[in-house]
Amino acid sequence: MPKNTSSTLQDQFANKAQAWSARFSEPVSDLVKRYTASVTFDKRMANFDIQGSLAHADMLASIGIISNDDLAEIERGMAQILEEINAGQFNWSIDLEDVHLNIEKRLVELIGDAGKRLHTGRSRNDQVATDIRLWLRNEIDITIGLLHQLRNKLAGLALEHAATILPGFTHLQVAQPVTFGHHLLAYAEMFGRDAERLADCRKRVNRLPLGAAALAGTSYPIDRERVARTLGFDEVCRNSLDAVSDRDFAIEFCAAAALVMTHISRLSEELVLWMSPRIGFIDLADRFCTGSSIMPQKKNPDVPELARGKTGRVNGHLIALLTLMKGQPLAYNKDNQEDKEGLFDSADTIRDTLTIFVDMVGGIKVKAEAMRAAALQGFATATDLADYLVKKGVPFRDAHETVAHAVRECEQRGCDLADLPLADLQKFHALIEDDIYGVLTLEGSVAARNHIGGTAPARVKEEAERVLAQTGA
Ligand code: ARG
């Protein structure tokens, strides 16, 4: 390769605002410039853009397209650019449209011709697809870590409350007693599946688009496997048109993020309900709540409320990305520049939300007495009475009917099933004996559900310990 090929015409790249502007006869308006630029938001991928460029340059040198001196210059220039960016001294310009052109222009300023050789055999189309994948891979790894931290906190609290009883609800009506630990571990399951989903999505994120160039590949004898290895990609994308075009990996991430927020939102709704003085099952630490500017008695669970609300924007980003992709012909279209802000916001929202929840869940104050009192209302052990009769040979439907009569009687008397004297219970069914009171207690009810996935304290303890071991505590 000739070392220095600059001529006055070629120098124009360094001086012209846009890298592609030599072909154009009039400048774009300021509004169009702002409308088409992405640097205000894609500059957050700068680190990954530089990583990708270095891997590309290393490959170009390995096949002799650029010299080792050029490679050394590119490495030196990029190191300085990275320093400038990290120090907040890099001069981002919307005249240069996006993160890629801003960095490339600065590289040329710093190192001259070697910088101009970097873009050989590459296009911004495969460059941006690579940057997003590198950026997203990192976000996925952080998010999976946070999900496991949250599971760890849930399991820790579950272990403490393996035998704490509260009413379990269906239709938000008291159904059957459950243990609080069991209830918490339901969320540990959900967040565990979220982590699995992200790990699965990561497999498809972690493929290298570079080499696709604009859309058709490149005529240089590039070594894509080498670039993939350098950047830690598991595979290379197998079709150049697809590599620069599809954003299904980002859509998958947004779908997984929407599910994370759906689970966070359900937990939030419960935290809000539980903290209402009408229910009073828990208290949240003051640092997650705010007061009212007018009502001095208020302590509002702002954090879970806001998390519930933020689910909306994350769901919205999924729909936006699906819609962005659906009508695009192959290959790259500028539409794809719209993939970033929603993706960034989804990742930021789940990351911040999970970080806060790890702390908040660890600090939940459980009001076991209130939970127990609530479980004693609403005939939570009615099913246990029916099951008791079934075990004595009564068909389940008949037992169900018998218990319904007993519940009605209790409602009239204003008492619980366990408060009825044996003689009165026997009026409903002669097979009821003294041992019924063991069945009608809350403790008897939960302890009886002693199978995998059941609410018995022994099982909850086992499960909590399993999750704790899995999540490293
Ligand atoms: N800023 C662009 C994006 O985010 C980079 C790729 C631009 N490619 C192009 N041919 N205009 O997608």
pLDDT by residue (tens digit) across 63-85? 999 999 999 999 999 999 999 99
Residue 403 has pLDDT above 90, yes or no: yes
Sign of CA dihedral 194, 284, 273, 296: negative
Task: Specify the pLDDT at position 23.
Answer: 82
Average pLDDT over residues 164-176: 96
Please, which residues have CB within 8 angstroms of residue 354's CB and are 6 or more apart in sequence? 143, 146, 147, 149, 150, 260, 264
Asked whether 336 lines ligand 1 (CB < 6 A), one says yes
Asked whether 125 lines ligand 1 (CB < 6 A), one says yes
Asked whether 70 lines ligand 1 (CB < 6 A), one says no
Residue 102 has pLDDT above 50, yes or no: yes
To test the pocket of ligand 1, the residue of 34, 128, 131 to mutate (highest count of ligand atoms within 8 Å of its CB) is 128
Task: Specify the pLDDT at position 400.
Answer: 96
d(CA 421, CA 423): 6
Q: Tell me which amino acid residue 144 is.
A: I
Distance 194 CA to ligand 1 centre (A): 31
Asked whether 102 lines ligand 1 (CB < 6 A), one says no
Q: Tell me which amino acid residue 465 is.
A: E
d(CA 105, CA 250): 28
Residues forming beta bridges with residue 208, ordered by sequence position:
236
Q: What is the DSSP secondary-structure string of 291-308?
A: --SS-TT--B-HHHHHHH
Distances 22 to 18, 103, 114, 459 between C-alpha atoms, Å: 8, 19, 21, 72
Task: Specify the pLDDT at position 306.
Answer: 97
Asked whether 247 lines ligand 1 (CB < 6 A), one says no
| Domains of the chain in sequence order | 26-120 (1.10.275.10), 125-156+178-372 (1.20.200.10), 377-470 (1.10.40.30)
Q: Tell me which amino acid residue 50 is.
A: I
- Minimal CA–CA distance to 240: which of 136, 129, 322, 98? 129
Distance 97 CA to ligand 1 centre (A): 9
Please answer whether residues 300 and 308 qualify as being in contact, where contact means their C-beta atoms are separated by less than 8 angstroms: no
pTM (2 d.p.): 0.93
Please answer whether residues 425 and 406 qualify as being in contact, where contact means their C-beta atoms are separated by less than 8 angstroms: yes
Would you place residue 19 in the very low, low, confident or very high pLDDT band (cuts 50, 70, 90)? low
Distance 132 CA to ligand 1 centre (A): 12
Distance 146 CA to ligand 1 centre (A): 32
Instruction: Say which range, 11-20, 321-330, 395-404, has the weakest mean pLDDT.
Output: 11-20
Asked whether 339 lines ligand 1 (CB < 6 A), one says no
Residue 294 has pLDDT above 90, yes or no: no
Which residues are catalytically annotated?
Answer: 171, 292
Instruction: Say which range, 21-30, 63-72, 79-88, 255-264, has the weakest mean pLDDT.
Output: 21-30
| Higher-scoring residue by pLDDT: 238, 438 | 238
**449-470 burial, b if ≥16 CB within 10 A, otherwise e?**
beeeebbbbebbbebbeebbee
Give me the chain's average pLDDT, please.
94
Task: Specify the pLDDT at position 37.
Answer: 98
